[in-house]
Amino acid sequence: MEEAAKQSIIPEDWDDFVAFINQHRDEIAFGRYDLRIEKDWARDLTTEDLLLLIEHCPSSRLTIASATKSADVLERLATDVSSDVREAVADNVRTSTVTLDSLSNDPAAAVRMAVAENANVSAANLERLASDPVNYVRWGVAHNEKTPSAVLELIVEDQDGYVRDEARRNPNAPKRGFWSRLFKNKSR
């Protein structure tokens, strides 16, 4: 069925939403409806209902990606055609390390930045993203409080001032003693 033939539905409240899904499950599966969902509702739906919505209701994907607790749904949305949806998956604190690992290679820099800022990203990917050609991806690494000191060492002298400053503010930033700072400044 063509996208234009879908009827957009915006339920009034949670009860209407659940009733609509239960009454029109088959029609949703056939692509007749495009339901819009509230964040709070996405947190309370079953994985089965969430998968139904992300498969057949494009208007709900971004909201579901940012709010769901389901690892299966997040994994599925990590391959969405929309970079906004993939970015929301990378931002979600419940996204697994495995899913973040795949998103760390995303062509969209905003997705890679969201991965770099997520507390679940692996140290190996933080290290790789610390040398990303896009400065705000490196800033995301510098901003992540889980970034190990060894990785911050790579960007504490970054060519970009914002990245450098953020890396130095990170609680894990390598601390330089008075003498090493003094001699480093003299050699410039």
In a shared domain, residues 64 and 102: no
In a shared domain, residues 98 and 156: yes
Q: Would you say residue 84 lies in a domain?
A: no
Strand partners, 8: 34
* d(C-alpha 50, C-alpha 85), whole Å: 14
Q: What is the pTM of this model?
A: 0.86
Q: Would you say residue 72 lies in a domain?
A: yes
In a shared domain, residues 114 and 54: no
Residue 143: HSE in the Cβ half-sphere, 13 Å Cα cutoff: 14
In a shared domain, residues 186 and 100: yes
In a shared domain, residues 57 and 114: no
pLDDT digits (tens, 9 = 90+) for 100-110: 999 999 999 99
Residue 46: HSE in the Cβ half-sphere, 13 Å Cα cutoff: 6
Q: What share of the chain has pLDDT > 70, as a percent?
A: 91
Amino acid code (one letter) for 67? A
Q: How far is CA 18 from the centre of its chain?
A: 27
Q: What pLDDT is stored for residue 174 in this prediction? A: 87
pLDDT digits (tens, 9 = 90+) for 49-95: 999 999 999 999 999 999 999 999 999 999 999 999 999 999 999 99
In a shared domain, residues 4 and 36: yes
Q: Torsion over CA of 123, 124, 130 and 131, rounded to 10 degrees?
A: 170
Q: Which helix (H) or strand (E) holds 140?
A: helix 135-143
Q: Which domain holds residue 143?
A: 93-188
